[in-house]
Amino acid sequence: MDTKELLKKVRKIEIKTRRLSDHVFGGEYHSTFKGRGMTFSEVRQYQFGDDVRSIDWNVTARYNEPFVKVFEEERELTLMLLVDISGSEQFGTDTQFKNEIVIEIAATLAFSALQNNDKIGLILFSDEIELFIPPKKGKSHVLLIIRDLLEFTPKSRKTDVGMALKFLSNVIKKKAIVFVLSDFMTEGYKDTLKITANKHDVTGIRVYDKHEEEIPNLGMVEMMDQETGEQILVNTTSKKVRNQYKAHYLEQVDYFEDSFIKSGAGALSCRVDESYVKKLLGYFKRRG
């Protein structure tokens, strides 16, 4: 992808996702992920309807008229995006690839955090850490993150969610808002997730394609594992083969849901042909 095309794609993503964060998600994000508490800001004259418990009696006595203390939320939050860029993300059949939806969701969350003056960081992972961008504030930083989401080429095509969560815990010491975006076509991360969720506010967003759920009856079909590159001939006319595939797929979905729920983390699933806007809004409202 040349520079001009890349900038065009970044701009397109920015326009779409920033509009969503400005008009839809900004307020929901703020109310869902609150700061560390309230800090004193200033005193002002008492107005009708103010809570009498907030009266500053020292200032009131000095000026012989009531003054109240004003507090503001101490935010200074950090949003960390953990994005799976393994081979299985390069899958899509109808409208978009899974990784395209993942990028849009990540960008929307990043702009929502930007609107609330929070720091944003990025971890791109496969079965290794492909890229780590430490959390910072600012629009130019968010655009850098979007650029890397669009153009970064991973070294590996495999997936290891647990490894990514361990790396997060090692590099981010203070509590952060963490979104893990993946198809979660893997297991073995339950214990690490439990430890991570005790320290951070973690949400898993599973992005999937409806055609991954089961194999249609198409006769003898050559299939390739996107993560290993292995090609095998599959007899899709066999009901046993189709049932085994579906059972394995549902096992991984159950593992995802069970792992996140039991660890106290949030979880939602979004199909590529569904509106991720509705899914995210519903999740924020349930959390708020």
Query: Domain boundary at 74, 102, 135, which?
Result: 74
Contact 215, 245 (CB under 8 A): yes
Residue 253 or 70, more confident: 253
Confidence of residue 226 (pLDDT cuts 50, 70, 90): low
Q: Give the pairing of strands 201-208 and 177-182.
A: parallel
Domain that holds residue 43: 37-74
In this predicted structure, what is the pLDDT of residue 11?
80
Q: Of 74, 101, 136, which residue constitutes the final position of a domain? A: 74
Q: Please, how many CA atoms are within 13 Å of residue 162, restricted to the half-sphere of its CB?
A: 10
Residues 58 and 113 in one domain: no
Instruction: Specify whether the CB–CB gap between 88 and 159 falls below 8 A.
Output: yes
Model confidence pLDDT, tens digit, residues 102-142: 999 999 999 989 988 899 999 999 999 999 999 999 999 99
Considering the domain architecture, whether residues 177 and 249 belong to the same structural domain is answered as yes
At 96, the pLDDT band (50, 70, 90 cuts) reads confident
Q: Are residues 61 and 176 both part of a single domain?
A: no
Query: Beta 119-125 vs 78-84: how paired, if at all?
Result: parallel
CA distance 260 to 267: 6
Q: Quick one: average pLDDT of 193-202?
A: 96
* Residues 137, 273 within the same domain: yes
Q: For the segment 144-194, what is each residue's pLDDT rounded down to a tens digit? A: 999 999 999 999 989 999 999 999 999 999 999 999 999 999 999 999 999
Structural domain ending residue among the three candidates 19, 49, 74? 74
pLDDT value for 28: 76
Which string of DSSP letters, residue by residue, matches 164-193?
HHHHHHHH--S--EEEEEE-------HHHH
The string of pLDDT tens digits covering residues 7-44 is 787 788 888 777 777 766 666 777 777 655 555 567 88
Claim to verify: residue 24 and residue 42 sit in the same structural domain: no
Per-residue pLDDT, averaged over 255-276, amounts to 94
Same domain, 223 and 104: yes
51/19 same-domain check:
no
Q: Are 48 and 189 in the same domain?
A: no
Q: 98 and 217: one domain?
A: yes
Report, as an integer, the average pLDDT of 212-224.
74
Burial class (CB in 10 A: 0-12, 13-18, 19+), 53: exposed
91 and 44 within one domain? no
pLDDT score of 40 = 57
pLDDT tens for 243-264 read: 888 899 999 999 999 999 999 9
Residues 236 and 268 in one domain: yes
Q: What is the domain count for the chain?
A: 2
**48 in the same domain as 125:** no
The CATH number linked to 130 is 3.40.50.410
Q: What is the mean pLDDT of residues 265-278?
A: 92
pLDDT score, position 102: 94
